[in-house]
Amino acid sequence: MGKKKPNEKQRSSTASGVNVGGGVGLNDREFQAVADAGAELVEEAAAAAELTAGGAKTTNPQLQMRLDLLAELGKRGDIRGFVRVFVPHDLDKDDTDYFAKELEEDPTRWRQLVEEVSLIADGAKVTKIIGDQVSKAEFRYFMPNQSLSIHREVVFVCQNGDWRAEG
């Protein structure tokens, strides 16, 4: 029962056990918010460090030619031409036509796809390429023009010398 120590006088606790009042320390919610903000800063710094190294561009000339072609077709707005050389090898004509029609009807989706393929072709903002780049290449990058840092990946596979997006 003795006297309370000075720091015990300043604190009180609620039934949930969260420290409140007295201006000493952080409660559990505040502490978690600070920890989350710190973790986010660490993730952003790691991503920035990967990008400051100059990004990553494919070392395969045939794959680079395909990426450049896709970027050019996108720049010209040639949706049908883009789709013909982008879709997986096993996609049938009906599904290919359906995909092209969806892009024609959704300019935002088309613009986003072109931005992402152009980003991959340029390589400057690609954080990593996984795969042998002979039969498969997975490009990792952050989505362009987004307020959130969304890490994405796109996989291209080669079949009989023809590079396409993986389905």
Mean pLDDT of successive 10-residue segments in the chain (167 residues)?
50 48 69 70 57 78 98 98 96 96 97 95 92 96 74 93 94
pLDDT value of position 68: 98
The single-letter DSSP state of residue 77 is T
Domain of residue 150, residue span: 61-165
| CA 68 – CA 59 distance, rounded (Å) | 13
Indicate the SS3 state at residue 158: strand
CB 67 within 8 A of CB 141: no
Q: Is the pTM of this model over 0.95?
A: no
Contact between 127 and 120 (Cβ < 8 Å): no
Report if residue 2 sits inside a domain.
Answer: no
Residue 15 has what pLDDT?
Answer: 47
Q: Please tell me whether residues 124 and 146 are part of one structural domain.
A: yes
Please tell me whether residues 97 and 158 are part of one structural domain. yes
**CA neighbor of 120 nearest in space, from 96, 137, 95:** 137
| Total domains in the fold of the chain | 2
Question: 94 and 36, same structural domain?
Answer: no
Ramachandran angles phi, psi of 163, nearest 5°: -85, 130
Residues 38 and 101 both lie in one domain: no
Q: State residue 11's pLDDT score.
A: 47
**Which stretches of 85-150 are assigned E, i.e. beta strand?**
126-130, 136-142
79 shares its domain with 115: yes
Residues 34 and 86 in one domain: no
Phi, psi (rounded to 5 degrees) for 126:
-80, 125
- Estimate to the nearest angstrom the gap between the alpha carbon of 19 and the chain centroid: 38
Is residue 104 one of the residues assigned to a domain?
yes
pLDDT at 8: 47
Query: Considering 16, 35, 53, which residue would you say is the last residue of a domain?
Result: 53
**7 within a domain of the structure (yes/no):** no
Dihedral in degrees, nearest 10, Cα atoms 36, 41, 43, 46: -160
